[in-house]
Amino acid sequence: MRNRTSRRRPYCLRCYAPLKGELRKGARTICPRCGFVNLKVDRAVFWTKERRLLELESLAKGVIVVFMVVIGLLMLWGAGNKMSFGLGQGWAVGFPILFGVLLWETASKITRWKPYLRVGLVWSILAAAPGIGLLLVAMLPELSPLARAVLAATSLPWFGVAFGIWRLEAACARWRARRILAQGPS
């Protein structure tokens, strides 16, 4: 599984130096190379506690919070103007919240394992959804061949983006593995 690297070789979460068997002694291990206090409880959650990556995660989450507040205010404004009261309102509220949660969880993967969460897969499916919709519309019998061709062609970029996101997740996983192994057992 994705957690294999952490199980195979305990390493310092800040500098990736190997921690040889010292983890068994207790809940915390001080790194012999950089002095970082590695907590056992962190090891289960984080793949890294490198300062720059922690800062990047905080920054990303800050941007997400601002983004969600703006969306929330826009929706309040929309509700104030009686734009969408009705059956669709549950979706109108729920969808941005789900989107926000997904963004948040994606940012969490900057430093955390979260092996249960395939954010790349979820984003790929979301990106492919409009392409699938366009293809379905292209199958409508009343459309002209030209309209079908245009719709089918328009669906292709969505699948391209979906494929790109899927490959990006794989690249991120490789980058993470290389980073962990970069220091190597010394």
What's the rounded Cα separation, in Å, for the pair 86 and 82? 10
Counts of helices then strands in the chain (DSSP H, E): 6, 2
C-beta closer to Zn ion: residue 36 or 99: 36
Please state the length of the chain: 186
C-beta closer to Zn ion: residue 144 or 186: 186
**Residue corresponding to tokens 């690249």:** 171
CB of residue 13 to Zn ion, shortest distance in Å: 8
C-alpha angle 129-116-46 in degrees, rounded to nearest 5: 125
**Residue corresponding to tokens 């245009």:** 150
- Contact set with Zn ion (CB under 5 A): 12, 14-15, 17, 31, 33-34, 36
C-beta closer to Zn ion: residue 10 or 131: 10
Taking the alpha carbons at both ends of the chain, their separation in whole angstroms is: 25
C-beta closer to Zn ion: residue 14 or 109: 14
C-beta closer to Zn ion: residue 34 or 168: 34
Q: Cβ(159)–Cβ(133) under 8 Å?
A: no
What's the rounded Cα separation, in Å, for the pair 12 and 87? 52
CB of residue 109 to Zn ion, shortest distance in Å: 22
CB of residue 18 to Zn ion, shortest distance in Å: 10
CB of residue 184 to Zn ion, shortest distance in Å: 14
CB of residue 148 to Zn ion, shortest distance in Å: 59
